[in-house]
Structure 1
């Protein structure tokens, strides 16, 4: 099932009518047929399992008629829009349909495809309106809870007050456990990633033992409050690792056109048994642990975390001696950085900012010795000072070393990335996907791609997709939504908007 399409269920006791409706060109209206039922009771069971967006139902059916089905749906699934069908233009039926709030009332014997298309448009508007209202109500409550939470962590709240707040907000009391999901993104696509993560966490709240709230408006941190299940708090680390793994897959599926780098990791608190512990442990999970720099693949970090070491003179002397002994041989120096330097850094766990600053200073001296006065204009690379992990820092150092004294050529990894992109335009081409293919981290690939090619990763991927889409529009009879899928953008609306932005014309206009 395509996540971008709305879904429709057909309900009619006459097989020929179901067959005829099944053949309607649903895809042309961004709607997906997902099933059918012979009566209202069967349809209600289907809706309870799958919750379609639109139900098209006959009124006169055995077991449970269409109007009775409609009443049940309005109680249980207010967002579902209903289109009623009948064989008779009966005023009483029409009046009841209007009273219940039907999206449309159609007479089967006179119904044309254009009538059904118009009804679908009205139903879609209703679905979006209802979902927006529900989402707004939920989000308003969630932000109110977040504001209360921030207030409680900034002042000393008595245990009774915290207990009452937990009960009112999350239907739980102490003991609890906190976890923070950190969503680190780069533009473009950062807001999209954040939204998908929040949407995913919301979908899990119904079946998992936690509720979540945003830490604040712009940190990209979601705080999860885990409550006791079966009298115990357990398995949270494993559960978070599973959530993050599924989130990576979900983001790649939902945003296959995504080009901004992103990383997900979580920080877990110890169990909180009394109010006096709450504020400190809340702040602890919201802070980014320095271990993220040294464990670039890590996804779950538990507090308390021992602090990093400060860069003392002895450490500086050790690393300087290590690098100095091979600094005139680039090949040997590269091997030392990938081997001894990385091992030293992992063992020492120096404050990341201090380590990056030291490396920048060392590279300035190395450039001066290698190139004399020509190095006076050398500036510290943003890839050095902005390295998100030790592996990013290593790749940035080696790039600077390889770049000195030679004409700049496109790095093999970037050439491989470009070739992989052009060969896989129909597949998800996120930075995570491509970076795994070429052996670089997403953040490093993003920076390096722009420096090597002169365009951003996002613009390169999108440009290649628009080139292929243009060719298919001009030289094939494929429908627009089929072309969107073939260039890796299953969202018809997003594809159309992006195509117009790049070409100045809508896909249908170009054709």
Structure 2
């Protein structure tokens, strides 16, 4: 079943479209809907979407700008435009953006919609067959790479396709990059887009010169996992710090953005990625990083004691600060309060247990400290949109 997002500012059009077609008979699940482009992008961050049906003209971010952002963030997602009589002037731009087809709002009927959907499903199936397995969106890929940085979410059979020729042969090292003085990133869509522009530029520079893989953590830091030896012969003798300093200068010149960075030691095995990431975090310049020493120590204790009854008071006592101070600085530096951070990490670990074990839901709930499985299921559904059993059966 392919997940669809419908973006249309007129609710009457959305309702009419929803009941005009038997979507599931065509292999399509009406996953979500949005009334504008900004809302659509927020929806796509929280759930897997395979194709988007969007109006061209909407207040705020229109359908064309939405399509540009989708292609930047989720290049495999297919796009169908809803158009009116006077929208055909946009057709050339829509085709350039890779729209799979148009639906003409004043005249579209069930047969026309079904024909476009069959075409879309066929394209998605071809994409799955030609893409390297598993088929993932850009957001899925980013989340998977993030899971490699934490011992509690580390997959059972880890793989970075870009590193198939490196792992266990010449090894790798990891770099964390942050904007200078960026204690807490603005959560607005505009700030996220600016951050993605920075990530894109870093990716363009380092993967061409050196190779490896670039992704981000919560729009706050860029992570680059690099092979021990660079791809380009011209920089094979360049020391890592000197190379990253040249990257810093390019970003300052091209984007007027100042960054700080830190580099881990070299590691041989992909299973050491959590260790490499923590080492790189601890090496960030103390006066320039957003996670100050107290927050780093608190995070490390949460990681060590995640399956225990971990509380703000216990952690504060362990690192010799008041619970009130830790609460304030944690929220400022991380962007979420301490209890939400613990719950998120516990639920992400529960995801791993649901995927990789046959344990009952109540057993998994107990493993992560929830004696009431109903409360655990409620938290899980609030965070991921579906109950634990449905998640396991997907």
Q: Shared topology, TM-score over 0.5? A: no
TM-score for both structures, normalised by structure 1: 0.33
User: TM-score, normalization: structure 2?
Assistant: 0.41
Choose between structure 1 and 2: higher helix proportion.
1
Larger radius of gyration: 1
